[in-house]
Amino acid sequence: MTKRRLATTGVVLVAVLGLGLTGCGDRPGKDAPAERAAATGSASPATTPRDELTAAIEKLNEQTLRVKLDSAMLTAHGVSDPRARTMQTTLTMAAFGEVRMLVIGADTWVKFDGELGEQLGGSRKWLRMDTGDGVMPVDDPGGVKKLLAAVVDVRSSGDRSYAGTLDYTRSGATGKALTAAGDKAKALPFTATLDEQGRLRTFTLDMTPIDASLDRMSVTYSDFGTPVRLSPPAPGAVEEAPAAIAAAFSGTPI
């Protein structure tokens, strides 16, 4: 049971939060829809909704920022410095309690509280693991390529507002619900808004085609440029993570 819960928690962090904070993927564009090709040959081609959303998402790799996530499965808040490859996130999960995650370069520390913490022995220590380039890749620390790769289509729905569909199978998520959803998971509706500086402000994904109980996942980006100074936990408060936990948080099958 504990092992299965660890895997679920790791997938949630890597895949769900990863959609907006971590992970990597190929940027779409080489075979983008005809809307992009239509502008070819123009001296000053008009930007498309996809171009505008792409530029807004790419800005997430440029500055420090705060992130807040709300979903039926969990809530989370944290700060990130993509250029320094550092991130701190606190998640509250009804089934597991609170999970804290700290990333500095290739090192990741996780601390479990609540029921899951008790099942792990109640040590209340930080568990360190070497996640290499998996959590905040050097070439894409903010995870924007993964988000861009998952966008199937996008259209303008108002001033600095967009709507479209996203292929969740490209997010790195796994699970029986995702498998059972089949092609439905490849066209999840989303909405997005930008701030006045053209940065992604909100991103809301409708998860109900996968499972009605998942409802919507909403991510808010704010406080761009906020100071982010993170340090590793004190050595006495750390122990090496068991292999099962390290595998779960790296997205490796257990």
In the numeric block, the tokens 């990333």 are attached to: 103
Contacts of 203 by beta carbon, 8 Å cutoff, 6+ apart:
20, 147, 190, 191, 192, 218, 219, 221
Please give the pLDDT value at position 26.
Answer: 35
Q: What is the mean pLDDT, run by run of 10 residues, along the chain of 254 residues?
A: 48 47 37 40 72 92 91 88 90 82 90 73 78 62 72 93 90 65 86 96 90 88 95 94 75 50
Cross-strand pairs, 97: 93
Domain 2-29+48-250 class in CATH: mainly beta
Please give the pLDDT value at position 28.
Answer: 36
Closest CA to 188 of 156, 222, 163, 213: 163
Please give the pLDDT value at position 178.
Answer: 66
Please give the pLDDT value at position 48.
Answer: 94
Maximum C-alpha span of the chain: 65
Q: What are the residue boundaries of the structural domains of the chain, listed by start? A: 2-29+48-250
Please give the pLDDT value at position 33.
Answer: 41
In degrees to the nearest 10, what's the CA dihedral of 242, 93, 108, 81? 180
Please give the pLDDT value at position 193.
Answer: 97
In the numeric block, the tokens 């808040």 are attached to: 77
Contacts of 212 by beta carbon, 8 Å cutoff, 6+ apart:
none
Please give the pLDDT value at position 8.
Answer: 46
> Three-class SS of residue 125?
coil
Cross-strand pairs, 130: 107
